[in-house]
Amino acid sequence: MLLDAQALYGGYGGMDILNGCSVAVDSDQIAVIVGPNGAGKSTAMKAVFGLLKVREGTVTFAGDEITNARPESLVRRGMAYVPQERNVFPNLTVHENLEMGAFVRSDDLSESLDRVYGLFPAMAEKRKQPAGELSGGQRQMVAIGRALMVEPKLLLLDEPTAGLSPRVMDEIFERIIAINATGVGILMVEQNAKQALAIAHRGYVLATGRNRFTDTGAALLANQEVAQSFLGG
């Protein structure tokens, strides 16, 4: 397993937000976390990426235990994270955003830049434009592209399609599938739960920091209880 987070507990102060949740994903897989607002989905991602202290539980990545390792060391190991909010530098150009993504690298970036522009051709056209001037969908593409600049093994995406039109959402999911096809494991949180589970090899329904349901995306979609309680019928 590329990433295996087991029985995580932790929170922001005295109180735990994560109450034993577990998530995992392999290199050739897309794993999707869904669940109500406040369930702890973003918190679980932060725990994996070293942004939240894990009080109990373990995270292993590419064979090593990395529980509570610092984000920068995780980036160097091949983990990249796109947060739910403020995930681009609005005053920097698209190109500068991509260069910033490679902050841990000191080698030649041209191959990675070519790959990102190949994946998101619209970004190549807008490379000199400030990211803050782009549409929401294009900003998400910049954010994902920025994360890809470290050539990660695992990409963590927190609500990459939030607030986007169905057409743009489909486009983002298509690119995520294409990224995964190059051998990058994907762990993502999604509010567009049905559409996301449809492309998920592994699915997790999180509620109050616990796994309520864990199965393949297809099985969760077919589960009536999941559909009624968490997917709007």
Ligand X SMILES: Nc1ncnc2c1ncn2[C@@H]1O[C@H](COP(=O)(O)OP(=O)(O)OP(=O)(O)O)[C@@H](O)[C@H]1O
Residues that bind Mg ion (CB under 5 A): 41-42, 84
Residue 17, contacted partner among Mg ion, ligand X, none, CB below 5-8 A by kind:
ligand X
DSSP 133: G
Closest CA to 143 of 173, 123, 163, 164: 123
Q: Are strands 3-11 and 16-25 parallel, antiparallel or unpaired?
A: antiparallel
Instruction: Please identify, using beta-carbon distances, which residue of 42 and 180 lies nearer to ligand X.
Output: 42
**To the nearest whole angstrom, how small is the minimum distance from the Cβ of residue 11 to ligand X?**
7
Q: Which of residues 13-32 bind ligand X (CB under 6 A)?
A: 17
Residue from 23, 24, 30, 39 touching ligand X (CB under 6 A): that is 39
| Binding-site partner at residue 39 among ligand X, Mg ion, none, CB < 5 to 8 Å by type | ligand X
CA-based Rg of the chain, rounded to a whole angstrom? 17
Could you give the 3-state DSSP secondary structure of residue 59? strand
Of residues 81-120, those binding ligand X (CB under 6 A): 84
Q: Which of 10, 21, 24, 40 binds ligand X (CB under 6 A)?
A: 40
Task: Identify which of residues 45 and 88 has a Cβ nearer to ligand X in the complex.
Answer: 45
> What is the DSSP annotation of 182-230?
TT-EEEEE-SSHHHHHTT-SEEEEEETTEEEEEE-HHHHHH-HHHHHHH
Among 2, 5, 25, 43, binds ligand X (CB under 6 A): 43
The CA-based angle 153-206-63, given to 5 degrees, is 30
Which partner in Mg ion, ligand X, none is near 12 (CB below 5 to 8 A by kind)?
A: ligand X
- Cβ proximity to Mg ion: between 41 and 139 the closer is 41
User: For ligand X, which is the closer residue by CB, 43 or 138?
Assistant: 43
Provide, rounded to whole angstroms, the least separation between the CB of residue 10 and ligand X: 11
- The interface region with ligand X, picked from 37-45, 68-76, 148-156, 165-173 by CB under 6 A, is 37-45
Check if the beta carbon of residue 226 is closer than 8 Å to that of residue 213. Answer: yes
Which residue is at the shortest CB distance from Mg ion? 42
From first CA to last CA, the distance across the chain in angstroms is 33
Query: Torsion-angle region of residue 86: left (phi > 0), alpha (psi -120 to 50) or beta?
Result: left
Residues that bind ligand X (CB under 6 A): 12, 17, 35, 37-43, 84
